[in-house]
């Protein structure tokens, strides 16, 4: 194992222990391989502003998988996924769930397809499309976004993607957007707000879960 990979793996082990998250050796190796690919492609395609692989573990991997226990259902769509966040880390730690990864930029979707191929991820589907133009098959159990838009925009742009009754919107936020919570469109209410504790990550993190009334 190359030394840089060994260092990153040790860091991941430490972070998972702090977060009390247990993963298989294969899942850990897939997460490390994803970070390695993201680091390599980033030098050419500028997929993320985070340049250090160890910081990617904190700010991308842990910040994504920390929400896994709160997701309900099987089929999810990650809108504005960028380089696959949080969709790819979640797909790795939830192999029995399926994630559609939606982004409008071709270079990002090409990266996602390469990740899908190299990591043999059968439970993701990269799609290039604007969210308001994307027409899926059956509605999704959950619509996920990470730093994608305001809650109002998320609901208005993605409402056609969610199951009418049991569907949920999962918005990964930093500081709790209290003003946005007071301006939700009619027919949408707050299911729950969870304060997240991401090891070694500075600043606040919240998961806002919305539902249709």
Q: Which helix (H) or strand (E) holds 98?
A: strand 98-103
* pLDDT per position as a tens digit, 95-128: 999 999 999 999 999 999 999 999 999 999 999 9
Which one is predicted more confidently, 1 or 131? Answer: 131
In DSSP terms, 169 is beta-bridged to: 143, 210
Sign of the dihedral through C-alpha 42, 47, 52, 54:
negative
pLDDT band at 192 (very low <50, low <70, confident <90, very high): very high
Instruction: Tell me how far apart the alpha carbons of residues 77 and 212 are, in angstroms, rounded to a whole number.
Output: 17
80 is in an annotated binding site: yes
pTM: 0.96
What's residue 3's pLDDT?
81
User: Looking at 37-41, 102-106, 163-167, 175-179, which range is the least confident one?
Assistant: 163-167
CATH of 3-212, one of 1.10.1040.10, 3.40.50.1220, 3.40.50.150, 3.30.70.270: 3.40.50.150
- Tokens read off for 65: 């998988």
Q: Where are the domains of the chain?
A: 3-212
Q: Which tokens sit at 80?
A: 């504005």
Is 125 annotated as contributing to ligand binding? no
131 is in an annotated binding site: yes
14 annotated ligand binder: no
């Amino acid at each position: 194992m190359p030394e840089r990979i060994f260092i990153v793996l040790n860091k991941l082990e430490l972070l998972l222990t702090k977060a009390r998250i247990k993963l298989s050796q294969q899942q850990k190796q897939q997460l490390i391989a994803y970070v390695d690919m993201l680091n390599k492609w980033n030098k050419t395609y500028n997929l993320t502003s985070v340049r250090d692989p160890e910081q990617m573990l904190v700010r991308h991997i842990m910040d994504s998988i920390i929400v896994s226990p709160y997701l309900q259902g099987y089929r999810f769509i990650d809108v504005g996924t960028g380089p696959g966040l949080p969709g790819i880390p979640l797909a790795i730690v939830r192999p029995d769930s399926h994630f559609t990864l939606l982004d409008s930029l071709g270079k990002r979707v090409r990266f996602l397809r390469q990740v899908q191929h190299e990591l043999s991820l059968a439970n993701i589907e990269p799609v290039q499309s604007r969210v308001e133009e994307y027409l899926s098959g059956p509605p999704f159990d959950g619509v996920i976004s990470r730093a994608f838009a305001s809650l109002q925009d998320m609901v208005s742009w993605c409402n056609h993607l969610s199951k009418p009754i049991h569907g949920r919107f999962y918005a990964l936020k930093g500081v709790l957007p209290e003003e946005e919570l007071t301006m939700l469109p009619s027919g949408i209410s707050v299911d729950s707000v969870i304060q997240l504790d991401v090891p070694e990550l500075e600043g606040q993190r919240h998961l806002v879960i919305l539902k249709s009334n």
